[in-house]
Amino acid sequence: MTLGSHQTTVGKSQIHITPKWIIDALGPFDLDPCAAWPRPWDCAKMNFSCTMGEGIPGIDGLRSPWPKGRVWLNPPFNRYEVGKWIHKLAEHGEGMALLHARTEAAWFEPCWWDAWAILFMADRIKFCRPDGTEQPANSGAPPVLVAFGPADMVKLSQSGIPGALVTDWEWRRKKIELQTDVGARLQASSLG
């Protein structure tokens, strides 16, 4: 499914397997909380299912706690679900998300507030089928890779994936300034 205004976002398959070259460039990851099933390769050491009824039976990746470690998130591209996944990754604070560059959408806000870096990929990608072959058409929207946490920002910046890497934007700058100001006040009050 894609989130483009001229494409359907609900009702068809939500299984869109990340191309292996992306995982190879950014991994290894500890958890894929919405892993596809069946799939030709693992995107992480541990795999949970998505809530769309198409994931691996067993652990519900959206409702279950995530263990500490790097998360790979290629969420179901459903406008009613995608924001929940991104919010959970933002709270987790360590990992990478593959999303559509719908920067104006409400579900993208956790990226603006909590991400450390966003790579606007140079080309649209083709997701893979369960047998590992490419889908016949591209994803239908420009993709972004979003890094949560400093280690993932470094990993993304060193990945060699073509595109425009953004690590500083006004909202983030204001949040950092606010955190720094609050931290300085707390430190001053503990010393005084």
Show pLDDT as tens, one digit a residue, over the chain (192 residues): 333 333 444 445 556 899 999 999 999 999 999 998 888 999 999 999 875 545 455 688 898 999 999 999 999 878 888 999 999 999 999 999 999 999 999 999 999 999 999 999 999 999 999 999 998 887 788 999 999 999 999 999 999 999 999 998 876 666 667 667 666 666 666 665
pLDDT of residue 174: 67
- Per the document, the length of the chain is 192
Q: Nearest to residue 16, comparing CAs of 175, 176, 138, 112?
A: 138
Q: Tell me the pLDDT tens digit for each residue of 46-60.
A: 999 875 545 455 688
pLDDT of residue 6: 36
**38 contacts 133 by C-beta, under 8 angstroms:** no
**71 contacts 57 by C-beta, under 8 angstroms:** no
pLDDT of residue 93: 96
End-to-end CA gap in the chain: 56
Does 38 sit behind a cis peptide bond, omega within 30 degrees of 0 on the bond before it?
yes
Maximum separation of any 2 CA atoms in the chain, in Å: 65
Helix (H) or strand (E) holding 184: helix 170-191
| Angle, alpha carbons 122-33-148 (nearest 5°) | 50
User: Six-digit token pair at 6?
Assistant: 């001229």
pLDDT of residue 5: 35
